Copies of this chain bind each other. A is one copy, B any other.
Amino acid sequence: MTASVPCAAPKRNCARFTTIVVAAFAAAAHVGTAEAAADFPNPLPAETIPKVETLPAKYPTTWSFLNYAGDRIELRNVGGDSREVKGQLPAHDSATFLVPDKRPEIYVADTVWSRGSRGTRTDFITVYDTHTLNPVGEIVLPGAKRALITAMEGLIAFTDDQRMALVFNFTPASSVTVVDLTKRQVLGEVEIPGCSLVYPSGARGFSTLCASGTMLTVRLDANGAVTGRTESKAFNPLDTDPLFTASTLVGGVRYFPSLHGRIQPIDMRGDEVKVLPDWPLVTAADQAGEWRPSGWQVVAGDEQKLLYVLMQPQAHEGTHKDPAAEVWVYNTPTKTRIKRLRLVRAGSSISLTHGAEPLLLVQAGERLDVYEPGGSLVRSLDLPGFHTRMQIEPVR
């Protein structure tokens, strides 16, 4: 029975339409002999079908994206009203995303297989409209190369003033796929043998962390072709005290904490990166407590001068991803710690909202705890069933 075949006898599937027909009938005529309460003389009116919520094209800075990595990306209001979940975006294996402030779009880089967990693999970027969250475009990434690594910073990045997306590939050969987001097409692929992850640098290009301890910087032309490569001196001692790959921008400079507690600033604004002098997060006084950076998204910055780092005492080999008990706040110009925040719950990922009065967001197990900068808990959102790692990206 196809959609256009007439629907004759009651025994046929017309039965399925009882609901609609009666609906029209009842709603139109308001058939109702139920005894009406004196205080409510009129029944509630019929409601619209269909009705789908929409969002403002530009989100308030009290909202944040939460990437459940391999499950979904949630858009939540962390700023206080009662409807905390604003929407979800589908996100599968190691999905990562970019949210521009130049266009009312969201980009999710994802991977699916034609039969669920097997079959033909497809890597693709879905373009969502911020107002409707409807998919409005798709860019298929060739070669099934996209790095399937727990979602984190460095797997995807903007460059060229958000016109281009850079997708890190790992097969286990390393490369970067360059995508034109405005034309919605792939421009090309840049091999970065022995190096991992992508961080925006310069006007059009990226930098990547290499196994030799250096940072390789690649410049691109408008068509995504490589116009230059420069490699920094080695500054990342992988054997003794490697840098986390999580970083944050403070005053235009990118700060990488190290497993043992140094902080490494790198100025990536120019066409060549400037590796600035590192400095200790842990003073001699703290040495006894064995305090070290610890967690997943371990560092956040207020973009002006303050640096926030998740810190854990009695740290030792293998604890570098454990949830951390405190957040230490540093003044980057003076390179001094100005605050210690004891967390209500040990946290694994932190970020700061981008509003005039930033909120500190801390993923702690199945909770997203929201603190005011002073360190007092404002609210705690539940993350039901969350058991992996979270990437927090507040709305800009």
Contact = CB atoms under 8 A, between A and B. Distances in A.
Interface of A: 1-2, 9-13, 15-16, 90, 92, 110, 112, 114-118, 122, 124, 126, 135, 138, 171-175, 191, 193-195, 210-212, 385
Contacts of A90: 115-118
B191 A1 contact: yes
Contact of A211 (B15, B138, B173): B15
Nearest to A172: B16
B193 A11 contact: yes
A191 to B, nearest CB: 5
A212 B1 contact: no
14 contacts: A1-B174, A1-B191, A1-B193, A10-B194, A11-B194, A11-B210, A12-B193, A13-B174, A13-B193, A90-B117, A112-B116, A114-B114, A114-B122, A115-B124
Nearest to A91: B116
Contacts of A13: 172-174, 193-194
A95 to B, nearest CB: 10
Contacts of A16: 172-173
B115 A126 contact: yes
B15 A194 contact: yes
Given A193-B12, A194-B13, A385-B385, A1 B175 contact: yes
Given A90-B115, A114-B114, 9 more contacts: A9-B193, A10-B212, A11-B193, A11-B195, A16-B173, A90-B117, A90-B118, A110-B116, A112-B114
Contact of A115 (B1, B12, B112, B175): B112
A354 to B, nearest CB: 30
Nearest 8 CB-CB pairs, A to B?
Answer: A1-B173, A11-B194, A16-B172, A12-B193, A13-B173, A15-B211, A90-B116, A90-B117
B385 A212 contact: no
Residue in A10, A117, A211 whose Cβ sees the most chain B Cβ within 10 Å: A211
A13 B147 CA distance: 14
Contacts of A115: 90, 112, 124, 126, 138
A385 to B, nearest CB: 7
A302 B142 CA distance: 55
Contacts of A2: 173
Contacts of A172: 13, 16
B92 A118 contact: no
A245 to B, nearest CB: 16
Contacts of A117: 90
B116 A135 contact: no
A1 B171 CA distance: 9
A280 to B, nearest CB: 29
A137 to B, nearest CB: 12
Contacts of A1: 171, 173-175, 191, 193
A28 to B, nearest CB: 23
Contacts of A10: 194, 212
A211 B12 CA distance: 9
A110 B113 CA distance: 14
A106 B2 CA distance: 31
B126 A12 contact: no
